[in-house]
A and B are shown apart, each in its own frame.
Chain A
């Protein structure tokens, strides 16, 4: 390395009440490189960026920018000093013109008035560097997200940024737009800019980046040269699993009942929605736990939402217990005996101001309809039963649910669905953000539910957990189902290889 890195971060740490978001993380960024920052949920990617750009103050560690200690104070000051961030949700003004957005706050003036012609000229010059040809006098909001992102990058260039941070820029772009963005990134790299690229798309990292830094649970896993890091190793690092030789594992497992007899509880054929999830097939039998594995953004939640009718599929057929159904709303799914504990407990699960009792009986009451009211006494009975069954810690069922801990809230949402006596229960990340004890209880609950004949679709980003609870595993990658593993193929090595697609063992192509 002939030149010192433009950005040096050493032993950076940052904590929030109850959470250690960054624990002594090192990070180096060099001129003329595209550096991918990767990690699963809670790895600390966004915290790192927010500390770097001055959204949060740091607790410890040092940041050197061009060899000098650096503390931004605010994202705006960071930008003025040469570190610009382009966020996933573009933070420009849609009802101003492209040119105004590019030059906002530094419009060229003539005799105290904004010089429109000069502004147009300068705006076009900036966009020419990005090979972007649009009418700069049009409103920014009239253009696609891709163009808006380019404009945001253009604005960063106008500030003569030396470091460009792209925070999940490709999440809402189609393949062509991603390629266009990559072209721009390569061009800027060639001009000597340092680009920090945050993403969870493995393929994109390999397509464009020179180096990869992986974080996990707020700690540095390591910095790697992209060309020297096999995909499957990257995935093992993201998931925090060691990678062994395949031979040593493919032997062990004994015979397991991979095909169950009888009618499945749920049979899905060719279900999919453009831009959300590619078509997939799926069968779940009574008493079976089907695990869903895959990286962040691989389409796990989308799959759950398609089955539950939150997302309306544009293809495919669904049979519940042998009967064809159209699950185009959560109500239909509920009436067909399907329940979903959503991933985002706070916004999609609990209703904060309502009591624990009301939260528990809600789905059952919806299932019963408007004219079969559950009397108060019966509601209390149901609530008490599940409070006892799931060991929900609360003074009374009348307690507002917002006053309970995360784990107990999660149990309440599970209780809400158990009360409807579903034949299939979908659990999307039920153990995220809850304490270890509650985690174990939920895992035990999943097993006991399946013992009693319930079919469970279990989604988790923790591989251990999926392996421990599931009878079979379906693997997702980049919004498509890429493999189904039967009991004898269930192994973290095989899962990681399936995600990486470097080895077809155990992965039946779709």
Chain B
């Protein structure tokens, strides 16, 4: 393999992008009209826009999840936090007819507190992250249902619904929400040592401690931020259907978010992370889902196909696997 090619294949973002390109190429060849875009009422429509639109909530959650996983942890409570945030927003709108600001801010505060609760269990009591966040995962949906009173709570509030269904500059608003969150985080990573501290914590918590770093504080920040991200996603999803459905909203979204992070090239062992990779990962998952739907594949196959693609992407990212694969090609064994 020539050196330049090898350098490119070892870049962290390469394989996620190649995978995404392959899926889109497949659609280009076999799904007529997949790339068709049209402007209706000043809004952009088409499968590509749908993919980005539907991927936005996972992208938002994957942003926080990336940081959590980079510290060597995991947060499986995000789906439940989505439900809690959505339930609070719904109650505020439907029961209290609250103005927009509290409808947006209060759920986010509670979601952030949920993240802080996880962080407390993990750093204060030393509970393993998967167990600590499992507690809220189990409890959260119940809490959400208690808040809305058991059944789906429907409401109408044009200004709030805009967050889920509206368009800005011809594009879905939620894309801007995800982008704003990413921009905010990028700014924080550039102007504070947060990134270095997260990677040090995930790389070796012990050595970080010997360097004076309070590992507990770093973890507190990431789990709290993950809660906030889940809250934002909860608002988007709730506004989208103009209803709070605590039992179903954001179901399994934690799995998609974790998958997106892993496909994006961040190791579950912690350490170096790849924020853009996670976003591409979310796009891969969504374009796969959309492709399967548009090809008319029965729903029950969706998950199987998804799993197969995920396995391939993860194998491609493994340097060891690529080396073994290279050795299979006669005369091109790379050493």
Q: Chain A: residues with CB nearer than 8 A to chain B?
A: 310, 329-331, 333-335, 340, 342, 347-354, 358, 361-363, 365-368, 370-371, 373-374, 416
Which single residue of chain A is at the shortest CB-CB distance from B189? A373
> Closest approach, in angstroms, between the C-beta of A147 and any C-beta of chain B?
26
Q: Which residues of chain A are near B214, meaning CB under 8 Å?
A: 329, 331
Q: Which of A310, A353, A371 contacts B210 (CB 8 A)?
A: A310
Q: How far is the CA of A374 from the CA of B197 in the complex (A)?
A: 12
B90-126 interface code vs A (CB 8 A; 1 in, 0 out): 0000000000000000000000000000000000000
**B156 close to chain A: CB less than 8 A:** no
Known contacts: A353-B271, A354-B199, A373-B191. The answer to whether A366 contacts B207 by CB under 8 A is no
A373 touches B192 (CB 8 A): yes
Contact of B193 among A334, A349, A354, A374 (CB under 8 A): A374
Closest to B214 in A: A331
Indicate whether B213 reaches chain A with its CB closer than 8 angstroms: yes
Closest to B271 in A: A353
Contact of A351 among B191, B193, B207 (CB under 8 A): B207
Q: Mark B190-207, 1 if CB is under 8 A from A, else 0.
A: 011110110110011011
Q: Complex: how many Å from CA A416 to CA B207? A: 12
Among the interface residues A354, A367, A368, which one has the most CB atoms of the partner chain B within 10 A? A354
List, sorted by A's number, 30 A–B pairs whose CB atoms are closer than 8 Å. Answer: A310-B210, A329-B212, A330-B209, A330-B210, A330-B211, A330-B212, A331-B214, A334-B211, A334-B212, A335-B212, A348-B210, A349-B207, A349-B210, A350-B204, A351-B199, A351-B200, A353-B199, A353-B203, A353-B272, A354-B199, A354-B203, A358-B199, A362-B200, A362-B208, A362-B211, A362-B213, A363-B212, A365-B197, A366-B211, A366-B212
**Taking the nearest CB of chain A, how far is it from the CB of B185, in angstroms?**
15
Using a CB–CB cutoff of 8 Å, the interface residues on chain B facing chain A are: 191-194, 196-197, 199-200, 203-204, 206-214, 271-272
- Min distance, Cβ B70 to any Cβ of chain A, angstroms: 11
Among A331, A335, A352, A354, point to the contact of B213 (Cβ < 8 A).
Answer: A331
In the assembled complex, the Cα of A374 lies from the Cα of B211 at a distance in Å of 16
| A368 surroundings in chain B (CB, below 8 A) | 193
A contact residues around B192 at 8 Å (CB): 370-371, 373
Tell which of B193, B203, B214, B271 has the most Cβ of chain A within 10 Å.
B193
Given contacts A366-B197, A416-B211, 16 further A-B contacts (CB under 8 A): A310-B210, A330-B209, A330-B211, A331-B212, A331-B213, A348-B207, A353-B272, A354-B200, A358-B199, A361-B196, A362-B208, A362-B213, A363-B212, A365-B196, A368-B193, A371-B192
B130 to chain A, nearest CB (A): 21
Chain B: which residue is nearest A370 at the CB level?
A: B192
**Contact of A342 with B210 in the complex, beta carbons under 8 Å:** yes
B207 & A333 in contact (Cβ 8 Å cutoff): no
> Is A347's CB under 8 angstroms from B206's CB?
yes
Chain A residues whose C-beta falls within 8 Å of the C-beta of B199 in the assembled complex: 351, 353-354, 358
Question: Shortest beta-carbon distance, B234 to chain A, in Å?
Answer: 28
Measured between beta carbons, the chain A residues less than 8 angstroms from B191 are 373
Nearest CB in chain A: distance from B213 CB, A: 5
Please, how many angstroms separate the alpha-carbon atoms of A348 and B211 in the complex?
9
Q: Is B210 within 8 A of A358, CB to CB?
A: no
> What residues on A are CB-neighbors of B196 within 8 Å?
358, 361-362, 365
A309 to B170 CA separation, bound complex (whole angstroms): 58
In whole angstroms, what is the CA distance A125 to B211 when docked?
52
8 smallest CB-CB distances across A and B, nearest first, come from A334-B212, A351-B203, A353-B271, A366-B212, A331-B212, A330-B212, A363-B211, A351-B204
- Complex CA–CA separation, A350 to B211 (angstroms): 10
Are B211 and A352 neighbours in the complex by a CB distance under 8 Å?
A: no
If A358-B196, A365-B196, A373-B192 touch, whether A340 touches B210 (CB-CB below 8 Å) is yes
Whether B200 pairs with A352 at a CB distance below 8 angstroms is no
Q: In whole angstroms, what is the CA distance A368 to B272 when docked?
A: 22
Chain B residues contacting A340 (CB-CB under 8 Å) are 210
A204 to chain B, nearest CB (A): 30
A21 to B272, CA, bound (A): 36
Note all chain B residues with C-beta closer than 8 A to A366: 197, 211-213
Residue from A347, A352, A353, A361 whose CB has the most chain B CB atoms within 10 Å: A353
Bound-complex Cα distance A331 to B203 (A): 19
> How far, in angstroms, from A416 to B210 measured CA to CA in the complex?
11
Residues of chain B lying within 8 A (CB to CB) of residue A367: 212
Q: How far is the CA of A334 from the CA of B212 in the complex (A)?
A: 6
Query: Closest approach, in angstroms, between the C-beta of B69 and any C-beta of chain A?
Result: 14
| Complex: A354 Cα to B208 Cα, angstroms | 12
Nearest Cβ on chain A to B149's Cβ, whole angstroms:
42
Give min CB distance, B283 to chain A, whole Å.
26
On chain B, the residues within 8 Å of A365 by CB distance are 193, 196-197
Residues of chain A with a CB closer than 8 A to B207's CB: 347-351
Query: How far, in whole Å, are A354 and B193 apart by their CA atoms in the complex?
Result: 14
Contact B211 A373 (CB under 8 A): no
Docked Cα-Cα span, A329 to B212, in Å, equals 7
Cβ-closest chain A residue relative to B270: A353
On chain A, the residues within 8 Å of B197 by CB distance are 365-366, 370
Are the C-beta atoms of B193 and A352 separated by less than 8 Å? no
